[in-house]
Structure 1
Amino acid sequence: LAEITAVAERYLGPSPTHPYWAGAVVLAGRGGTVALETAVGRAVRYSDYDAATGRAVEFPPEEQIDATPDTVYDLASLSKLFTSLLVVQQLERGRIELEAPAARYVPEFAQGGKQDVTVRHLLTHTSGMPAWIALYRQPDREAMLRALWAVEPTDAPGTVYRYSDLSLITLQLVLERVTGKPLDVLLAEELTGPLDLTRTRYNPPADWRPRIAATEVSRPPWAGLDRGLVWGEVHDENAYAMGGVAGHAGVFSCAWDLAVLARTLLNGGEYGGVRVLSERSVELLFSDFNTAFPGDGHGLGFELNQHWYMGAMATPRTAGHTGFTGTCIVLDPTTDSFLVLLGNSVHPVRTWRS
């Protein structure tokens, strides 16, 4: 545990040229015990970035904000886990079928040759769709949806593993059609509310800003939009263009809330007397649906056995995910342990961590 803290602190320095992150929070536990909870560095350090010199502009020392265990981070792609859990809940309730084509629920999705893409393909990133398209370049939400409908798979569904934001955006639309509720409302009603995750939500209010870690100075050419310092709003351009609520990105949270989520899943879907998933459904999160693609193990929503970030915790049933902003969660059911790592490694700019 001391080594974990030392590594987190080491990345505050040259890694190898610039700091890997401005700050980070680490929380680890086994069973019902929190073994480590620590914060290092700054949640907010830089106000701007000068591309000509490659130097960052720091806030005055009195305006910089330390990272604390309660700091809220933009989770980036960890948001995909919440979307996936909401889908699995609907699988339980019989409103969605795993092997059903997504077009059963969103008929427009069948355009572009996607009629055979199933819910399982979307949850396991085997849809054959491209990884990403620049939806934020569209003028409005309806145009974004038309662009998504027009996407053509580059491979037949089920024949290739390709991590795709588009899969989780599609699942958002499936959920919204099936339930008649927006994704942020579903998140609050079905997960964060029942589990009392009070610091987990889309679009955090303005008064949360002093407790939120800043992300990137967003400016072309390294970013898609010219927004200046992104702080308190979602970093991902497509999620931002979608109003901050998207299936692939947009959720903000803190280490403790993610620890509660981890314990809920390791407990078989229950925490504090509240059950959000059945044990059978939780088992689907830790079961590999991608045995045809060695090295790309995937449960429903969760990556499995990824040594590159799970390290010594990696086993065939170890589940987790990473996020572009510098976030990570790992759950190991074989040892009943978890680790949450939240950093702002794109602060001040994504290229520094290269």
Structure 2
Amino acid sequence: CGWRGRRVVGAVHDENAFYLGGVAGHAGLFSTAPDVARFGQSFLNALHGHAGTALLRADTVTAMVQPHAVAGTVRRGLGFALWSPDPEASGNPFSTHAFGHTGFTGTSLWIDPARDLVVALLTNEVYNGRAARTLVPLRLDVHRAVLHVLEPDAP
């Protein structure tokens, strides 16, 4: 970590979250891919009427995935990015109902209710420094690859 002068392991890389005690609304949470996928599945469960296995009520999740902020092709819900027609957007390969979150270190959680699909990708692009930013296109490639495995004939 350039501003700390040492390699950081098990601590948030984001300066703002660091100064807020390590966890903030935008950074600082650590987990495993299976648990992140379970978290995503809980949103699908709410939307599909499985309240017993959902963390939030269906009406809450529905409100979260409505466009509350729009700028060009970028649409944001409450806590989530929403599907975008931009072919380089992380959620673009998914259906127009998809929503997700991407992180500075290359992480991604995308939820596609139309396909009953959750994709969780955990990475740490800044482990060796911030100079090379290669995971943004790789994240999109991973999303496309997942869909290709599930739907080989899809465009």
TM-score class normalised by the smaller sequence: 0.7 to 0.9
The separation in 1 between residues aligned to 2:10 and 2:102, in whole angstroms, is 20
The residue that corresponds to 1:312 in the other structure is 93
TM-superposed deviation, 1:332: 0.8
Work out which of the residue numbers 96, 104, 108 in structure 2 matches 1:328.
Answer: 108
The separation in 1 between residues aligned to 2:34 and 2:129, in whole angstroms, is 26
The aligned runs of 1:335-346 (5 Å cut-off) are 335-346=115-126
How well do the aligned residues superpose, as a CA RMSD in angstroms? 2.1
Q: Does 2:8 correspond to 1:230? A: yes
Do the aligned partners of 1:288 and 1:299 also contact (CA within 8 Å) in 2?
yes
Q: Which runs of 5+ in 1 are unaligned?
A: 1-217, 220-224
The residue that corresponds to 1:276 in the other structure is 55
TM-superposed deviation, 1:254: 1.1
TM-superposed deviation, 1:273: 3.1
TM-superposed deviation, 1:349: 1.2
The separation in 2 between residues aligned to 1:261 and 1:282, in whole angstroms, is 13
Higher relative contact order (CA 8 A, sep 6+): 1
The separation in 2 between residues aligned to 1:334 and 1:274, in whole angstroms, is 19
Q: Which runs of 5+ in 2 are unaligned?
A: 135-155
The separation in 1 between residues aligned to 2:132 and 2:68, in whole angstroms, is 35
The aligned runs of 1:73-88 (5 Å cut-off) are none
Do the aligned partners of 2:83 and 2:92 also contact (CA within 8 Å) in 1?
no
Larger relative helix fraction? 1
Larger relative strand fraction? 1
SS at match of 2:59: helix
**TM-score normalised by the chain length of structure 1:** 0.34
SS at match of 1:284: helix
The separation in 2 between residues aligned to 1:262 and 1:288, in whole angstroms, is 19
SS at match of 2:93: helix
SS at match of 1:258: helix
Tell me: CA distance 1:272–1:257, structure 2 relative to 1, closer, same or farther (3 Å).
Answer: farther
Work out which of the residue numbers 232, 252, 266 in structure 1 matches 2:44.
Answer: 266
SS at match of 1:248: coil
TM-superposed deviation, 1:256: 0.6
Q: Deviations over 1:206-261 (max 9, x none)?
A: xxxxxxxxxxxx12xxxxx2230011111111211222122221111111111111
Tell me: CA distance 1:272–1:281, structure 2 relative to 1, closer, same or farther (3 Å).
Answer: closer
Q: Which runs of 4+ in 1 moved over 2 A?
A: 269-276
The aligned runs of 1:1-354 (5 Å cut-off) are 218-219=1-2, 225-268=3-46, 273-291=52-70, 293-306=71-84, 307=87, 308-315=89-96, 317-353=97-133
Do the aligned partners of 1:285 and 1:319 also contact (CA within 8 Å) in 2?
no
TM-superposed deviation, 1:274: 4.3
Query: Which of 1 and 2 has greater Rg?
Result: 1
**TM-score normalised by the chain length of structure 2:** 0.74
The separation in 2 between residues aligned to 1:336 and 1:274, in whole angstroms, is 15
Q: Deviations over 1:37-69 (max 9, x none)?
A: xxxxxxxxxxxxxxxxxxxxxxxxxxxxxxxxx
The separation in 2 between residues aligned to 1:330 and 1:274, in whole angstroms, is 19
